[in-house]
Chains A and B, each alone.
Chain A
Amino acid sequence: MPKYLLSVWSREGDPTPSNEEMQAMFADVGRFNEELHQEGVWVFAGGLHPADTATVVDGRGGDAVTTDGPFAESKEHMGGFWIVSAADLDAAIELARRGSLACRRPVEVRPFADDV
C-alpha cells in the first residue's frame, strides 16, 4: 500500500491558541490518531518541538558542521506529521482533511517515492 506524509504547517504570526483551545486540539488529535490505528492506516506520527529547537547538520565534508535553527529560513514551520497508508491520493486527502480539522492547521500531502 502506498504511503503518504501528512505534514502540519503554521506561519509565524499565527495567533497563539489559548489553553482551552490547546486542550481541545490535543483531544481531537488523540481521537484522530486512535481512528488511524483502528482503520489500519497508521504508520507513524508525532508532534515536533518548535523550529527554533532544530539543528542543521551538514556532513558532506566528512565532519558534522552544525547550524542552529531550521534549514528553511522562512516564516512557515512544520509542527508535526503523520505517515499513513492510502490506496490513492483521494484516500490520502480524506485522511488529511480529518487531520487538518483535528489539529486546526493546513496539512500538506506528499507521496513517498518508493515502497517504504
Chain B
Amino acid sequence: MTVGLEPVERVFREEYGRVVAGLVRRFGDIDLAEEVTQEAFLEATRRWPESGVPPNPGAWLTTTARNRAIDRLRRESTRDARHRQAAMLDQFDEPPDAVSSIPDERLRLMFTCCHPALARDTQVALTLRLLGGLTVEEIAHALLVEEAAMAKRLTRAKAKIKAARIPYRVPPDHELPGRLAGVRATLYLVFNEGTCRPAPRPRSGSPCPPRPSARPGCWPGSCRTSRRCSVCWR
C-alpha cells in the first residue's frame, strides 16, 4: 500500500528534533548525530511511500540512524573512535530506545543550543537547524543572511560547543530561572521566523527529501519540566 510523501513529511516535523537529540545524547557528537539523522530520513523517504509509515516511526528512525553511526565509527580507525565503539558495545544489550519515553532529550538539546556563551542570532540559527531540521539555505533565507555566511556561523557554533565543552544537559535547578529567559527569547525569534517567512521552493528536479519546518506545534509538549513554563506552545 503506497502512502505518498505527506505522512512522511508529518513524521519528519514531529520526529526530527527528537531523533537528533537522542543521538547527541548517545554519541556526544552533534555533527555525527545530524549526518546520520539525515541519512535515516533519506532512507525513510525511499522506503515508507511504498511500505507505509512504521508503527513507531521515531524508533525506526533512531535505530536506523544509530546503526549508521555505529558503521561510521567502525570505519574510522582513530583511537577516539575505538573508545567510542567500546562504550557503545556496552549499551548493545539495552532495549531499543523508546523515543517517546525520553522526553527530556530535546530539552537538553534546546538548552545547549540556547547556551548564553553563544550569541543570540547563533542560538536562533542552531535551534532552527538541530531541533527544527531546517536546511542551511532555509535558515539563511529566514534570517536574511547569505547561505555561505550561515553555514560558517553554524560550523563555528558547533565547533565552539565541542572545543569549549558546552555541556549537553538541562541546567541545575538554581540556574534554571536565568537560563529559561534566554531559551524563551530564542524560541520567540525562532517561531517568528518560522511563521512569518515562506520557505524557499526547492529547485526543480532536485531530489531533496521533505524538510520539517519550525511551525508552532512542531515540538509538541517538548518542555516537560514540572515547573509552569511558557516555553510549551501546546
A residues sitting closer than 8 Å to B (CB atoms) are: 2, 87-90, 92-93, 109, 111, 113
Contacts and interface: CB of A to CB of B under 8 A. Distances in A.
6 contacts: A89-B117, A89-B166, A90-B166, A90-B175, A109-B164, A113-B163
Interface of B: 115, 117, 163-167, 171, 175
Contacts of A87: 165, 167
Question: Per DSSP, are chain B's interface residues mostly helix, strand or loop, or mixed?
Answer: loop
Contacts, number: 23
A111 B166 contact: no
A69 B175 CA distance: 42
A111 B167 contact: no
Contacts of B166: 88-90
B163 A88 contact: no
Contacts of B115: 89
A60 to B, nearest CB: 27
A34 B234 CA distance: 50
B140 to A, nearest CB: 27
A109 B117 CA distance: 10
Given A89-B117, A92-B164, A93-B117, 9 more contacts: A2-B165, A87-B165, A88-B166, A88-B167, A89-B167, A90-B166, A90-B167, A90-B171, A111-B165
Nearest to B168: A88
Contacts of A109: 164
A111 B164 CA distance: 5
Contacts of A90: 166-167, 171, 175
